[in-house]
Amino acid sequence: GAGVSQSPSNKVTEKGKDVELRCDPISGHTALYWYRQSLGQGLEFLIYFQGNSAPDKSGLPSDRFSAERTGGSVSTLTIQRTQQEDSAVYLCASSKTRDRVSEQYFGPGTRLTVT
Amino acid sequence: GNSVTQMEGPVTLSEEAFLTINCTYTATGYPSLFWYVQYPGEGLQLLLKATKADDKGSNKGFEATYRKETTSFHLEKGSVQVSDSAVYFCALKIGSGGGADGLTFGKGTHLIIQP
């Protein structure tokens, strides 16, 4: 079946602009996760959704970051007033459930470059 | 908190050599343990997992055993191929709540196999 998809695959934006990143999880997966991969910080967990709810937003790097999920499916990660330090690859993953044994499947990522 | 430590490399081996990539962890709860692989230009793929002590995960000739007493999950392969060249990430996940719902990753080990 179809895997996790993300769009756009690449995004170049000017400092100060807002960007929106999209994730389509595997059908039927109730849990959805956002991560950031950068050379300096490695792979960082940002936020997760169980259904449409995000119980804990403490992993988001700043209040310029927000995320939502609608219909228990598609999720968007929004970064307002982008800064150069936001440049990274943003990864989305989904899993059948949120429990610790459930495998997470990753999308190809969105490479964000802030100039 | 939770953390994963692994050798960063690069690790360079000749084809058919024996591979070990060390991974140790600290966790506030009882984690599941995972190895993910990222081939050049590709996304993160789950390689193997183990969900309880003494479990052995295996896939594509790779193996790792969950050692609770030494808090380790070392990745091994008996005979590596050039096609195994990639970055390998060790990761853990504990139960839900308190920001612990995402995977905690190590920094990644860059493996280079020479013919």
Task: Report pLDDT digits (tens) over A51-110.
Answer: 889 888 888 999 999 999 998 899 999 999 999 999 999 999 999 988 888 999 999 999
Note which residues in 90-109 of chain B have CB less than 8 A from chain A. Answer: 91, 93-99, 101-108
The strand pair at A75-79 and A65-69 is best described as antiparallel
- Is A103 close to B49, i.e. CB distance below 8 A? yes
Confidence of residue B36 (pLDDT cuts 50, 70, 90): very high
**Strands, E assignment, A15-54:** 19-24, 31-38, 42-50
Residues from chain A contacting residue B108 (CB–CB below 8 Å)? 42-43
Q: Which among B32, B49, B107 has CB closest to A42?
A: B107
- Is B34 close to A103, i.e. CB distance below 8 A? yes
- Is B95 close to A91, i.e. CB distance below 8 A? no
Q: Which among A35, A46, A100 has CB closest to B94?
A: A100
* Residue B103, min C-alpha distance to chain A (Å): 7
Residue-wise pLDDT tens digits, A3-22: 999 999 999 999 999 999 99
CA distance B89 to B109: 7
Q: Is the peptide bond before A8 cis (omega within 30 degrees of 0)?
A: yes
Torsion sign across C-alpha atoms B68, B103, A86, B45: positive
Whether the per-residue pLDDT at A1 is higher than 80: the answer is: no
Q: What's the confidence (pLDDT) of residue A58?
A: 85
Residue-wise pLDDT tens digits, A28-46: 999 999 999 998 788 999 9
CA distance A74 to B102: 18
* Residue B40, min C-alpha distance to chain A (Å): 12
- Is A100 close to B104, i.e. CB distance below 8 A? no
Report the residue of chain A nearest B39, measured CA to CA: A108
